[in-house]
Amino acid sequence: MSNKRVYLFAEGNASMKDLLGGKGANLAEMSNIGLPVPPGFTITTEVCNEYYADGATMPPGLMDEVRAALATVEKDLRKGLGDPKNPLLVSVRSGAKFSMPGMMDTILNLGLNPQTIEGLIAQSGNERFVYDANRRFIMMFSDVVLGVDKHKFEVIFDNHKKQKGYKQDGDLTAEDLKRICAEFLALVQVETGQGFPADPWRQLELAIEAVFRSWHNDRAIVYRRQERIADDIGTAVNVQAMVFGNLGDDCGTGVAFTRDPSTGEDELYGEFLMNAQGEDVVAGVRTPIAISELKEQNPGIYDEFHAIGRRLEEHYKDMMDLEFTIERNRLFMLQCRVGKRTGPAAVRIAVEMVEQGLITKEEAIQRVTASHLDQLLHPRIDETYVADRQISALAKGLAASPGAAVGKAVFDSETAEKLGESGEKVVLVRDETNPDDVGGMLASQGILTARGGKTSHAAVVARGFGIPCVAGCEALEVDLHERCFRVGPVTVREGDWISIDGSTGEVYNVQLALIAPDIGGQFGTLMSWCDEYRRLRVRTNADNPRDAQQAIDFGCEGIGLCRTEHMFFEDDRLPIVQEMILTKSEAMREAALKKLLAVQQSDFEAIFEVMDGRPVTVRLIDPPLHEFLPSYDELLREVTELRMAVATLGGEALKHLLDEKERMMKTVESMREANPMLGLRGVRLSIVFPGIVVMQTRAILQAAATLIKHGKRVLPEIMIPLVAHVNELRTVQGQLEEVARQIVAEQGVDIPYLFGTMIEIPRAALTAEQIAESAQFFSFGTNDLTQTTFGFSRDDAEGKFLHRYVEQKILPVNPFETIDIDGVGQLMRIAVEEGKSANPTLKCGICGEHGGDPESIYFCHDLGLDYVSCSPFRVPIARLASAQAALRGKVAVSVDK
Amino acid sequence: MSNKRVYLFAEGNASMKDLLGGKGANLAEMSNIGLPVPPGFTITTEVCNEYYADGATMPPGLMDEVRAALATVEKDLRKGLGDPKNPLLVSVRSGAKFSMPGMMDTILNLGLNPQTIEGLIAQSGNERFVYDANRRFIMMFSDVVLGVDKHKFEVIFDNHKKQKGYKQDGDLTAEDLKRICAEFLALVQVETGQGFPADPWRQLELAIEAVFRSWHNDRAIVYRRQERIADDIGTAVNVQAMVFGNLGDDCGTGVAFTRDPSTGEDELYGEFLMNAQGEDVVAGVRTPIAISELKEQNPGIYDEFHAIGRRLEEHYKDMMDLEFTIERNRLFMLQCRVGKRTGPAAVRIAVEMVEQGLITKEEAIQRVTASHLDQLLHPRIDETYVADRQISALAKGLAASPGAAVGKAVFDSETAEKLGESGEKVVLVRDETNPDDVGGMLASQGILTARGGKTSHAAVVARGFGIPCVAGCEALEVDLHERCFRVGPVTVREGDWISIDGSTGEVYNVQLALIAPDIGGQFGTLMSWCDEYRRLRVRTNADNPRDAQQAIDFGCEGIGLCRTEHMFFEDDRLPIVQEMILTKSEAMREAALKKLLAVQQSDFEAIFEVMDGRPVTVRLIDPPLHEFLPSYDELLREVTELRMAVATLGGEALKHLLDEKERMMKTVESMREANPMLGLRGVRLSIVFPGIVVMQTRAILQAAATLIKHGKRVLPEIMIPLVAHVNELRTVQGQLEEVARQIVAEQGVDIPYLFGTMIEIPRAALTAEQIAESAQFFSFGTNDLTQTTFGFSRDDAEGKFLHRYVEQKILPVNPFETIDIDGVGQLMRIAVEEGKSANPTLKCGICGEHGGDPESIYFCHDLGLDYVSCSPFRVPIARLASAQAALRGKVAVSVDK
């Protein structure tokens, strides 16, 4: 800890955010580059921690330092705190390193008391203004410092207006306000048992302490948890001479961005009010005026402000968010910070600032975040529309697949398909989806489910197809019988309009306006810059030509994960798959496999065609076979009912049906598993049922051969899932190479292909040295690797305890969203190091969902992976994050949170 | 590879088993210490590999070396192979490094042809003997070398006897045998299209090749897989001059052990027959005579043999298994090897040999294996009884809890309890057991289930209570309705006697005789020697005073795992536990927890009392809560039936019941998990329901306080299961220490206790450095650690693919039985190293089932763990294996497999 507790604005600068907070550091910076900032000083964030370390008591000696600093301000302005002749008023504001808007407390006009009121009236010649300032001060101070409920003051104020028949605050006279102040002071006496502190120094000390206290108020704590801000960074306290926008018509106040934060357009964007204090702009008592009007009303001030905006942009090299006050036709800057912006604005500003020579391409890349791009890539809800109409969400589920969708609620897939085909916009609402629903999902604008997590069928399929999805919205009661869903007292019927936001999880029972994605020229420019800097290659997870094409449009360089079993779920294949599983006859199984061979081969041909020589990693069958069979619960219900029916009614037809269902139930039961995630799936299936490997390998390589014969380029990479021991890989490799030799002989062409494995089981990572001897590539399946490394079943954890772990900070983040570097990351590091030492040409990539998460991509870059693979709509984000990863450490960036 | 392919017996010794095989090395050894061994030589095991490496062809030049070696034998005996005057006959026998009894082929009397027959008749003066030898030779050679079915020769032989009206082989005259030989040769001509080879050298070459070929016959392959013998060690071939026990009444042959292999008693044990060849002793055509009779019949030979036995014991320092032949009153040794023995014999022999000064205590410890002790500790099936009556098993399941049990089959727990209490011996037969069955299980001699693996409820509970159990016996069809079970055509009804062997998995539908365990003085002596040498401490897994006492009797030094939830399953507690889970009222939950507190506290008091100051590691609640609730399937069936009944019959009572069941079903459904093994259990439960930790900590520490106040010693160690992140541990630690402070204050005594965690999740091992800062001990839960490291659900894997993995050698052993050193072991090593580096006083142990597996214990010793913990009945095995681990490397041991 440094010894200096208090910094005059002249002593600080923008780089001192840790110590002075964001507001304090920027006030200092503006002061020092010569902008008109009312003088003041900042008490450091370390003092806040000191305050709490001492059991919430004011550090001894602090007020001496405050006094010394204020003396400089007083001297500067030739005013004095509490000086009855020439009174100085100050504001006391919190300001942490990261902006926490509205979370902590502020006190304005501090320094008023009976003596200084008189002095100020004499000096300003405006009695009404002084009493107005005083009533604001008493209320804020009493609320924040003395703990008197603000509402009680408002009652007095409103009663007074009513009594006098006033409509507006402005109608109150000086006399009225004086009276109100008197009543306020009486209220304080009654509520606190003592008088309002009249000594401005006492006022100041209490206000400073109140700011420290506000660091730990409930809403600040909740906000920090939400925004992942540490509790121990503390807040600074800014004490600054007051300037007044409400001294008369040559005064005013406003807020503005140097560029449009919504579109990024390069012109001042903001609002102001003449003869008003800052809080009036925010409170909406009077309607603020667009900043462009200021040019008409006061071109001098406008030009000065415009020039300051330019100057600050050049200085900070970013779009800025500014607060200003005009006091008697003099402009004062009260705040500046890097401005928040929408995704489209972020991209436009970054690209235009490069063109304007303000920043470099490297800096531009660092200015855009994943969520900025995500907004850009999907339709999004028009927030102005929602705000204007004060629409609130009906319910909130999991943000399972990004983007917003609007459509009529439908409750089954057939209806979705029927209406969808006739051009209607529909949103499919289900308890949960299953493979039968895929047709209906594709025909829908969006998908909403009451159950299931981010890896539920609905979520996975929706992300795959880029369809917005809100999953696991537990407040929903879906009533298929009545064809409606209920949320508390609200009922939404089939055909009613709903809107969902798959980026936030929000569900609305109205038809909202959407803003279409705009992947314009600036987006392309930014992406091309990213490609210049990134080292990681970017692939996509795609199981069909449509997704593959989408990903290519977004710039992918190959397929990192093509899941073959999704092909099995389609309507025309499922019966064949079931036949293959259920038959006890080898011949029937062979026949079923032969049918599947034909369809899989044509699937692969179509994908290879689209990918045009780019590598395509095909994962052999992975899920447990019972996923392809009817649900056991359903069968048990049916069998129980049939048994009762047969017992009471008899009848040959029923008996026959019962027999059939019982047989099916027995089969499904024999395949049931206690923990299917850790059961007979992945490479284990390929070992127990070698026929499937043979069929899939044949389908891949025959498809490749067909394309090669047509002069096309192909590069299949065959990937074995869930390997735990090198011998599993070797066993499958033997089968596979045998098939490959046969096909090369049959087809008479050489087929280039790679053979590799997923690393998604801890043991595979730990024994990577052995495994790398049999593999040409590793692809980290970080979903399963996270499940096994933590011993978390994602399906169970996310619903049952993971949210609590994150809330209670037991885990810093959800490890299914961002790679857990200490655990999962350590296994990845072991695997890469040992794998590459055993096999220096080993290619390493990642195909878990983390492949589209920026933090995880940074880690993958540092680890030296060759590529990341993610869903098509994350490809641009992965290109961006890969470039950012390559630039990290090279470029110093200051990003305001 | 050495260049020398053929070793005369004079050139070899006992240490050359790799090269000469067990039989060859021991024949050489016996020759060289001057024992009467017919001369011969050995073709090395490397030649066998050479044979296969060349595509199964005889290595060029081999027969030249054979000729040279045989020349020495011929010279020695003054006989010649094929010499019509003085013919030498030889045996050709296989002999690998490890004994593979009956698996490979042998040919006797090789060298006979029309010329040598005449010579041998002239020399021996016994025409009958010669033709008898010849018919044996033709049959063996034709069977083994020429591939003519042995059965066809037997038909000729038997027909001849029948035709002549003979009862016994001995009734056949020389003329008969000559005739039979002629018919045999005709048969060979017909079957092979060519004559029987008359050239003895050709005979020898073909016989040697046949032995090589027999290395890869089906039964040898199966045997090697079963016994885990490598395929590439090859067999040697022993060629040895024949001696004859069937030349007359001054001849004979026999087999004997130098001590009783069944009891270990120090006296010759074996059988012989006069005027017979070795195969007659084995074949059971004549009843052999006990070796003690030889003393009467031929004291000279007996004394010589007895002295040889002593000599060999002194030489080999072990109990030996011998074969001998008496030819014309001269004793010849044909084989010696270390004798196999039962568990009781192994212990007795080891201890007595130390007392006799033959071996050291260190060697004695190495002579006894885990399975020897296991036999000793449980009742076992009397194998003589089974063999004498030629009883075969009805079915085979998993060997789930060792020991044998005999009783009447019963099909439900009430019946088991009722009959059990009235003194009947019963075996409980169920599809699978559940917590309601515990009473019935305790009342039974053994448990037999049709479903479930080695970690099923039945298996776990049975092992805990030391009750024999065969689980997952899938051939069983249990018919509760008819109160019987079926295995194919066999039906076993309630009350029928059955026997089960929990050490082998065998099930018999008869009442077998059992041999009671005998834990006599020699067992105690051996154990005390083990204790002198071992460094590892041995604890037990025990959840109740009975098991704890049992383990103390077996020498345990503490409890390494006391599972608190088993206490919850008991009849009087389950309803309280269900109430705690199901209630939505905090007050009701508190009340339920209070009731559980009282019962848990008294449980702990009883256990602490028995353990008398030894450390007791108590694991806080671990399993998912739905394990305490009714089965969802059962509820679904009931609800479906009730719905139909209500729909057709109506009725308020039914409706009410339906409501109730539906509510319960909904609750159970809401707690259902996709992968319960990776779901809401372990420390996660303690975080989501902190009341349980508080209750359990209170129960443990209050129990401790109560004992301390009574002047008793206690040392509880509180253990948190399933930790993946140090923050989980810290969270629980905070709650727990708060409770501890309260109790110390309330009770006014200091309570010593340790706080630690299980390491059973890969992430915990990987981040051990962090975790060790909050833990005073680590206990490796290698069951779960193996599950997560491999991504194997044990319940699913063992039934569905693990057996195949072991059969196909994808995995060398079942990793749930023996620690996988490369994967799981690597995590353990990381955890111990990092844990101890962060916290040098960290205590490390293991409480997974591997804690009772010798190979795993060796690993734990090498890893530097402080203790192993295992079920009570494995405690002696753990003491033994710990001592063996400490001695490994220090003492060179040769153990015959």
Residues B276, B254: Cα–Cα separation, whole Å: 9
B633 closest CB neighbour out of A636, A648, A762:
A636
Query: How much is the average pLDDT of B328-332?
Result: 95
Tens digits of per-residue pLDDT, A348-401? 999 999 999 999 999 999 999 988 888 788 888 888 888 888 899 999 998 888
**What is the reported pLDDT for A102?**
66
* A189 at B interface, C-beta within 8 A: no
For A727-786, the three-class secondary structure string (H helix, E strand, C coil) is HHHHHHHHHHHHHHHHHHHHHCCCCCCEEEEEECCHHHHHCHHHHHCCCCEEEECHHHHH
Q: Does the beta-carbon distance from A766 to B788 stay under 8 Å?
A: no
Q: Does the beta-carbon distance from A674 to B793 stay under 8 Å?
A: yes
Cβ-Cβ contacts under 8 Å, B826 against chain A: 766-767
Tens digits of per-residue pLDDT, B522-563? 999 999 999 999 999 999 999 999 889 989 999 999 999 999
DSSP assignments along A674-743, one per residue: SSGGGSS-THHHHHH-HHHHHHHHHHHHHHHHHHHHTT---EEEEEE-S--SHHHHHHHHHHHHHHHHHH
Query: Which residues numbered 717-736 in A keep a CB inside 8 Å of some CB on B?
Result: 722, 724-725, 727-728, 731
DSSP strand E in B414-513: where? 426-430, 446-449, 469-471, 477-479, 484-487, 490-493, 497-501, 506-508
- Which of A633, A641, A648, A675 is the mutation pick for testing B, counting most B CBs within 10 A? A675
Query: Which residues numbered 746-775 in A keep a CB inside 8 Å of some CB on B?
Result: 760-763, 766-767, 770
pLDDT at B248 over 80: yes
Q: How confident is the model at residue A895 (pLDDT cuts 50, 70, 90)?
A: very low
**What is the reported pLDDT for B895?**
39
Cβ-Cβ contacts under 8 Å, B640 against chain A: 636-637, 640-641
Cβ-Cβ contacts under 8 Å, A795 against chain B: 673-675
* B27 at A interface, C-beta within 8 A: no
Distance, in angstroms, between A835 CA and closest chain B CA?
Answer: 15
**What is the reported pLDDT for B891?**
46
Nearest partner of A747 among A712, A701, A715, A713, judged by Cα = A701
**What is the reported pLDDT for A59?**
94
Residue bearing the bigger pLDDT, B75 or B892? B75
Q: What is the mean pLDDT of chain B?
A: 91
In chain A, the percentage of residues whose pLDDT exceeds 70 is 97
B870 and B780 Cβ atoms separated by less than 8 Å: no
**What is the reported pLDDT for B573?**
87
Please count the CA atoms within 13 angstroms of the CA of A496 that sit on its side-chain side: 15
A884 and A858 Cβ atoms separated by less than 8 Å: yes
Query: How much is the average pLDDT of A461-490?
Result: 87
**What is the reported pLDDT for B161?**
92
Residue bearing the bigger pLDDT, B771 or B582? B771
B535 contact partners, CB below 8 Å, separation of at least 6? B861, B882, B885, B886
Q: Does the beta-carbon distance from B793 to A673 stay under 8 Å?
A: yes
Query: How much is the average pLDDT of A181-196?
Result: 95
Q: How confident is the model at residue B892 (pLDDT cuts 50, 70, 90)?
A: very low
pTM over 0.80, yes/no: yes
Q: Does the beta-carbon distance from A760 to B791 stay under 8 Å?
A: yes
Q: How confident is the model at residue B890 (pLDDT cuts 50, 70, 90)?
A: low
B446-449 sheet: strands from edge to edge: B395-396, B506-508, B497-501, B404-410, B426-430, B446-449, B469-471, B398-401
Please, what sign has the CA dihedral across residues A68, A70, A71, A76? positive
Q: Does the beta-carbon distance from A796 to B680 stay under 8 Å?
A: yes
Q: How confident is the model at residue A552 (pLDDT cuts 50, 70, 90)?
A: very high
Q: Which two tokens stand for residue A782?
A: 């970080």
Tens digits of per-residue pLDDT, B570-588? 778 889 999 988 888 889 9
Of A880-894, B643-657, B837-851, the least confident: A880-894
* B787 at A interface, C-beta within 8 A: yes
ipTM: 0.82
B801 closest CB neighbour out of A675, A688, A761:
A688
Q: How confident is the model at residue B2 (pLDDT cuts 50, 70, 90)?
A: low
Burial class (CB in 10 A: 0-12, 13-18, 19+), A754: middle
3-state helix, strand and coil shares in percent for chain B, rounded to the nearest 5: 50, 15, 30
Please, what sign has the CA dihedral across residues A91, A97, A99, A100? negative
For A314-328, the three-class secondary structure string (H helix, E strand, C coil) is HHHCCCEEEEEEEEC
């709903």: which residue's tokens? A498
Distance, in angstroms, between B504 CA and closest chain A CA?
Answer: 25
Q: Does the beta-carbon distance from B808 to A731 stay under 8 Å?
A: yes
Cβ-Cβ contacts under 8 Å, A762 against chain B: 762, 788-789, 791, 823, 827
Q: H or E segment at B317?
A: none
A607 contact partners, CB below 8 Å, separation of at least 6? A542, A544, A545, A548, A559, A562, A616
Q: How confident is the model at residue A893 (pLDDT cuts 50, 70, 90)?
A: very low
**3-class secondary structure, B81:** strand
Q: What is the mean pLDDT of chain A?
A: 91
* A809 at B interface, C-beta within 8 A: yes
Query: How much is the average pLDDT of A688-715?
Result: 95
Burial class (CB in 10 A: 0-12, 13-18, 19+), A223: middle
Which residues sit opposite B453 in a β-bridge?
none
B800 closest CB neighbour out of A679, A722, A761:
A679
A545 and A464 Cβ atoms separated by less than 8 Å: no
Please, what sign has the CA dihedral across residues A850, A853, A855, A857? positive
**What is the reported pLDDT for A394?**
94
Nearest partner of A136 among A171, A175, A158, A110, judged by Cα = A110
Distance, in angstroms, between B463 CA and closest chain A CA?
Answer: 21
Closest residue on chain A to B792 (Cα): A678
Q: Does the beta-carbon distance from B678 to A641 stay under 8 Å?
A: no
Tens digits of per-residue pLDDT, B276-287? 887 776 665 677
Cβ-Cβ contacts under 8 Å, A679 against chain B: 793, 796-797, 800
Q: Measuring CA to CA, how many Å separate B95 from each of A502, B48, B99, B212, B375?
A: 73, 11, 7, 10, 29
Distance, in angstroms, between B224 CA and closest chain A CA?
Answer: 20
Count of other CB atoms within 10 angstroms of residue A602: 14
Tens digits of per-residue pLDDT, B796-811? 898 789 988 988 889 9
Q: Measuring CA to CA, how many Å separate A91 from each of A41, A78, A341, A351?
A: 11, 17, 28, 38
Tens digits of per-residue pLDDT, B21-62? 999 999 999 999 999 999 999 999 999 999 999 889 999 999
Count of other CB atoms within 10 angstroms of residue A806: 17
pLDDT at A897 over 90: no
Residues B507, B473: Cα–Cα separation, whole Å: 9
B251 and B326 Cβ atoms separated by less than 8 Å: yes
Q: Which two tokens stand for residue B258?
A: 């130098």
* B669 at A interface, C-beta within 8 A: no
* Dihedral (Cα; B364, B368, B373, B375), 10-degree rounding: -130
B788 closest CB neighbour out of A641, A762, A767:
A762
Task: Please list the active-site residues of A.
Answer: 457, 847
pLDDT at A839 over 90: yes
**What is the reported pLDDT for B518?**
67
**What is the reported pLDDT for B639?**
93
Residues B65, B81: Cα–Cα separation, whole Å: 15
Question: Using alpha carbons only, what angle is made at residue B791 by residues B765 and B541, rounded to the nearest 5 degrees?
Answer: 60
Give the type of residue at A612.
Answer: D
**What is the reported pLDDT for A755?**
97
**What is the reported pLDDT for A518?**
67
Q: Does the beta-carbon distance from B641 to A640 stay under 8 Å?
A: yes
Q: How confident is the model at residue A741 (pLDDT cuts 50, 70, 90)?
A: very high
B317 and B363 Cβ atoms separated by less than 8 Å: yes
According to DSSP, the β-strands at A235-241 and A40-43 are antiparallel
Q: Does the beta-carbon distance from B804 to A688 stay under 8 Å?
A: yes
Please, what sign has the CA dihedral across residues A246, A252, A258, A261? positive
Q: Measuring CA to CA, how many Å separate B122 from each of B111, B113, B126?
A: 16, 14, 8
* B788 at A interface, C-beta within 8 A: yes
Nearest partner of A425 among A441, A443, A398, judged by Cα = A443
Query: How many residues can be counted in chain A?
Result: 897
Within A402-456, residue ranges assigned H as helices are: 413-421, 438-442
Closest residue on chain A to B669 (Cα): A633
Residues B290, B273: Cα–Cα separation, whole Å: 9
Q: Does the beta-carbon distance from A675 to B793 stay under 8 Å?
A: yes
Q: Does the beta-carbon distance from A679 to B823 stay under 8 Å?
A: no
Tens digits of per-residue pLDDT, B234-245? 999 999 999 999
Q: How confident is the model at residue A837 (pLDDT cuts 50, 70, 90)?
A: very high
B810 closest CB neighbour out of A674, A731, A788:
A731
Give the type of residue at A134.
Answer: N
Task: Please list the active-site residues of B.
Answer: 457, 847
Residues B819, B801: Cα–Cα separation, whole Å: 18
Q: Which two tokens stand for residue A289?
A: 């005026």
- Which of B692, B722, B725, B774 is the mutation pick for testing A, counting most A CBs within 10 A? B725
Q: Work out how many CB contacts closer than 8 A connect A with B.
A: 200
Question: Using alpha carbons only, what angle is made at residue B367 by residues B365 and B369, rounded to the nearest 5 degrees?
Answer: 90
A801 closest CB neighbour out of B640, B674, B687:
B687
**What is the reported pLDDT for B586?**
86
Cβ-Cβ contacts under 8 Å, A644 against chain B: 641, 644-645
Residues A746, B36: Cα–Cα separation, whole Å: 67
Closest residue on chain A to B645 (Cα): A644
B761 contact partners, CB below 8 Å, separation of at least 6? A789, A790, A791, B722, B723, B724, B784, B785, B788
**What is the reported pLDDT for B474?**
86
